[in-house]
Amino acid sequence: MIELSQLMVGDQGKIYQIADDLEVKRRLLDLGFTKGSQVECVLSSSFGGPFAYKIKNSVVAIRRGDARKILVERVLG
Amino acid sequence: MKYKILLAGNPNVGKSTVFNHLSGENQHTGNWIGKTVDTAMGVFSYRDHDYELYDLPGTYSLNSHSKEEEVARDTVFFFPHDLVVVVVDAISLERNLNLVFQILEYTKQVVVCINLMDEARKKGIEIKTKELSSLLGVRVVLTSARRDEGLEELKEAIYETLEKRNESVYQVSYHPLLEEATCLLEEYLTSLDLPVCSRWLAFRLLIEPESFLVLVSQFLHYNFQEDKHLQNLLFLVRRDWQEKGITRNQLLDFVSEDFSRQQKEVVDAVVEMKQKSSNSFSWDRILTSKKYGIPIMILMLMVVFFLTISFSNYPSELLFSLFARLESFLLSLFSLLHIPSFITSLLVLGVFKTLSWVVSVMLPPMVIFFPMFSLLEDLGYLPRVAFNMDGIFQRCGACGKQALTMMMGFGCNAVGITGTRIIDSKKERLLAILTNSFVPCNGRFPMLIALISMFLLGSSAGVGATLLQMLYLTGFVLFACLMTFFLSYVLSKTLLKGERTSFTLELPPFRKPEILKTIVRSLKDKAFQVLKRAVLVSIPAGILIWIFANVEISDHSILSYVTNFLDPFAQLLGLDGVILTAFFLGFPANEIVIPIMIMSYLATGTMQEYTSFAALKTLFIDHGWTTLTAFCTILFALFHFPCSTSMLTIYHETKSVKWTLLSFVLPLVVGSLLCFLTASIYRIFV
């Protein structure tokens, strides 16, 4: 079990859990970061900026701090 | 009777395209739904019925996070309507179903429009419409709005749904605990005979915070807080949950799990993947790369500026000469009618002249800049900018989407300030609002360019000079951006510290924009806006400027008293009294600052055009200008105070006198300090 932020570009994972941070959590759930979903890290940005993940057929960027709140199981792609 | 139809959907699903294709030219933007956010409303007819179509802001769910999403939620829940069309993305149907389910909880009168079918088919995705339709209990239509496919079917589906109401629609079933509580409340609420779906109300009362209760009470004219029986039921349910050790958080988890499981079930039943999507080459590897992302963005901005500036000159001159002819016609007309000369002077040389000036200078760059911006938006490039820039903004306590509002601010600060609604967090949004006027708008560019050309370029000419001019301009713009970062940082550490921030951003696939349509729409939109604004600011400004320049007290105009009074202070800033007065009188529109300067120097009583930069430079130098004056004027042009329209917009957006005043004082202090420092250092060393 690792944090989503630890996935490198090209890595895939399966979402296990999102930390209890109500505001962020509701938002992430709406964007499709739900338990059991497949997720792939597709882009990372400069100056410590956000990562972009492919989830449920769309690409969504979230900040590293928020990505740390999601636990994933690494999946070999 | 006109049917009221809401158009809802996630962002980036082509909702506006559907809207535009349905309502054609019959659309207007306005404050229809009684919220502070303007929404577009379009009208169309189908089979002898008239329909009003309301375009809601894009939203992922009805659990609001940002201002725009709140508007979408409140409109679906509290604005009377006959039907909701939910536009969903065929490619990510699973996520999009979240919104569909939430709306189905509220109303049965729904049509699901699955858009972007052309893109989906390319990826080998097929959707079984009939199955989906019978699962959801509503009509489902496949469209590719950009190609005008499926829209007649959509109209037919709307028509049919309104004729024969939907009987029973798909309802998400909740976790047993929540289901039990919902049923309990539902039973009681049904007995109250309120004009909304009882199950929806029961569920919302259970999961929403207190603030929502107040809204619902107002909407239904029923005070839920004082309904003893209801409060008792709620109390019992919550006590039961507490005894079982279930927190609100866990409850929300249950709900989201229920939703996401059922979204997946539906998608598994109706979506067919004919082929595995191949990983094609992605432009993102270049446009968002750590190395090239930001340089490409700066280059692209420079191109946009260059095109805006070079293409506005000619139409500007054309408008000037047109207005000049109209002016002389008006003058002769007024004299023919024997209208007293001071009235003629006030109306024609004051009001009309200001109006024509503002229109001539403001209109061309606006109608060139904003269509280009819309094209970049339609292409899908703008979210990439926010993605690239968020790292930097985050370090300043701000949000990457602020980069977009700054880009809009280059066109017009008022537009940029309205644009801050895309920023979810309140703190980051305020930062973006307060610092927006730090980026120079189209109204200030001509002034900057004139000053750069006259005083900083020297005597070079030709391509080299143009290039040098662009470089200077870019330099100043970058400096303005740096100041934005700096101020955002300072504000987020002082006045706006502590509040939490969040950032989520979808990067939609790049799409070929509908070039012509986008340009025409953007043109029409902006032209109208600019004209309206020009009229609004010109009348008071024209009258004020005329009075300042023409009313004399013991042989001197009010203007000269004011400039003389301000002069000592202005000299400290490296400016002079005339320049400072011109900025104050140019409060309604920065476009008229230089004309007012010329008017004051020449003491003509009416605003003057300059024939050439050389003539203008001579005039300025004759009145004591040096390179320092020009440099300080440029700094002050970059940082003084937002124009009146921007100030009104700031008040409109923040509803706070405090923040509006701060947005006035902040750039003024920064600009004055910078000018003062520059002038002092220059005077010490040179």
Taking only the tens place, the pLDDT of each residue in A47-56 is 889 999 999 8
Domain check: are B153 and B189 in the same one? no
Q: Using an 8 Å Cβ cutoff, are B322 and B386 in contact? A: no
Containing structural domain, residue A15: 2-75
User: What does the pLDDT read at residue B248?
Assistant: 77
Domain check: are B75 and B128 in the same one? yes
Q: What is the DSSP letter of B587?
A: T
* Residue closest to B102 by CA, chosen among B90, B117, B88, B120: B88
Do residue A45 and residue B387 have CB atoms under 8 angstroms apart?
A: yes
B233-248 pLDDT per residue, tens:
989 998 998 898 888 7
For residue A2, the distance in angstroms to the closest alpha carbon of chain B comes to 21
Residue B42, SS3 per DSSP: strand
For residue B391, the distance in angstroms to the closest alpha carbon of chain A comes to 3
Share of chain B residues as helix, strand and coil, in percent rounded to the nearest 5: 65, 10, 25
Q: Which of B163, B192, B218 is the last residue of a domain?
A: B163
B248-280 pLDDT per residue, tens:
778 878 888 899 899 999 999 999 887 665 555
Do residue B506 and residue A20 have CB atoms under 8 angstroms apart?
A: no
Q: Which of B163, B187, B221 is the last residue of a domain?
A: B163
Q: Does residue B171 fall inside a structural domain?
A: no
Q: Does residue B285 fall inside a structural domain?
A: no
User: What does the pLDDT read at residue A29?
Assistant: 87
B459-506 pLDDT per residue, tens:
666 777 778 888 898 899 999 999 999 999 999 999 887 666 678 888
Do residue A30 and residue B61 have CB atoms under 8 angstroms apart?
A: yes
B292-323 pLDDT per residue, tens:
999 999 999 888 888 888 888 889 889 999 99
Q: Does residue B424 fall inside a structural domain?
A: yes
Q: Is the pLDDT of residue B387 over 90?
A: yes
Do residue A61 and residue B284 have CB atoms under 8 angstroms apart?
A: no
Q: What is the mean pLDDT of chain B?
A: 88
Q: Is the pLDDT of residue B281 over 80?
A: no
Q: Is the pLDDT of residue B622 over 80?
A: yes
Q: How many structural domains does chain A have?
A: 1
Q: Does residue B452 fall inside a structural domain?
A: yes
For residue B94, the distance in angstroms to the closest alpha carbon of chain A comes to 7
Domain check: are B11 and B86 in the same one? yes
Q: Using an 8 Å Cβ cutoff, are B403 and B435 in contact? A: no
Q: Does residue B168 fall inside a structural domain?
A: no
Domain check: are B629 and B494 in the same one? yes
Q: Is the pLDDT of residue B36 over 60?
A: no
Do residue B390 and residue A45 have CB atoms under 8 angstroms apart?
A: yes
Among B56-70, B100-114, B155-169, B413-427, the range scoring the smallest mean pLDDT is B56-70
* Residue closest to B422 by CA, chosen among B410, B439, B407: B407
Chain A partners within 8 Å of B508 (Cβ):
58-59
Q: Which of B163, B194, B214 is the last residue of a domain?
A: B163
User: What does the pLDDT read at residue B499?
Assistant: 63
Q: Is the pLDDT of residue B30 over 60?
A: no
Q: Which two tokens stand for residue B141?
A: 């239509």
Chain B partners within 8 Å of A36 (Cβ):
260
B132-158 pLDDT per residue, tens:
999 999 999 999 998 889 999 999 999
Chain B partners within 8 Å of A48 (Cβ):
391, 394-395
Domain check: are B141 and B214 in the same one? no
Domain check: are B79 and B181 in the same one? no
Domain check: are B483 and B350 in the same one? yes
Q: What is the DSSP letter of B350?
A: I
User: What does the pLDDT read at residue B529?
Assistant: 77
Within 8 A by CB and 6+ apart from B244, the residues are B177
Domain check: are B227 and B321 in the same one? no
**How many contacts does A have with B, using Cβ atoms within 8 A?**
125
Chain B partners within 8 Å of A44 (Cβ):
290
Q: Is the pLDDT of residue B34 over 80?
A: no
Q: Is the pLDDT of residue B540 over 90?
A: no
> Rounded to a whole number, what is the distance in angstroms from the first to the last CA of chain A?
16
Interface pTM (ipTM) of the complex? 0.95
User: What does the pLDDT read at residue B12?
Assistant: 85
Q: Using an 8 Å Cβ cutoff, are B88 and B104 in contact? A: no
Domain check: are B595 and B675 in the same one? yes
Beta bridge pairs of residue B504? A62
Of B423-427, B595-599, B601-605, which one has max mean pLDDT? B595-599
Do residue A32 and residue B65 have CB atoms under 8 angstroms apart?
A: no
Residue type, A3: E
Do residue B290 and residue A35 have CB atoms under 8 angstroms apart?
A: no
Q: How many structural domains does chain B have?
A: 3
Q: What is the pLDDT confidence band of residue B46, given thresholds at 50, 70 and 90?
A: very high
Q: Does residue B30 fall inside a structural domain?
A: yes
* Interface check A43 vs B, CB under 8 A: yes
Higher pLDDT, B114 or B215: B114
> What is the CATH number for A53?
2.30.30.90
User: What does the pLDDT read at residue B193?
Assistant: 85
Chain B partners within 8 Å of A62 (Cβ):
503-505
| Angle ∠(B99,B103,B104) on CA atoms, nearest 5 | 115
Within 8 A by CB and 6+ apart from A57, the residues are B91, B92, B94, B95
* Interface check B380 vs A, CB under 8 A: no
Domain check: are B423 and B499 in the same one? yes
Chain A partners within 8 Å of B391 (Cβ):
45-50
Do residue B394 and residue A63 have CB atoms under 8 angstroms apart?
A: yes
| Angle ∠(B592,B596,B598) on CA atoms, nearest 5 | 120
**Percentage of residues in chain B with pLDDT exceeding 90?**
43
Distance in angstroms (rounded) separating the CA atoms of residues B680 and B660: 31
User: What does the pLDDT read at residue B37?
Assistant: 57
Chain B partners within 8 Å of A37 (Cβ):
260
* Interface check B677 vs A, CB under 8 A: no
Domain check: are B353 and B432 in the same one? yes
Domain check: are B247 and B378 in the same one? no
User: What does the pLDDT read at residue B278?
Assistant: 54
Q: Using an 8 Å Cβ cutoff, are B76 and B99 in contact? A: no
Containing structural domain, residue B112: 2-163
Q: Using an 8 Å Cβ cutoff, are A17 and A70 in contact? A: yes
Rounded mean pLDDT of B558-576? 93
Do residue B502 and residue A22 have CB atoms under 8 angstroms apart?
A: no
Do residue A49 and residue B400 have CB atoms under 8 angstroms apart?
A: yes
Q: Does residue B279 fall inside a structural domain?
A: no
Q: Using an 8 Å Cβ cutoff, are B413 and B643 in contact? A: yes
> What is the CATH number for B29?
3.40.50.300
Residue B28, SS3 per DSSP: strand
Q: Pick the residue from chain B with its C-alpha nearest to A19.
A: B249
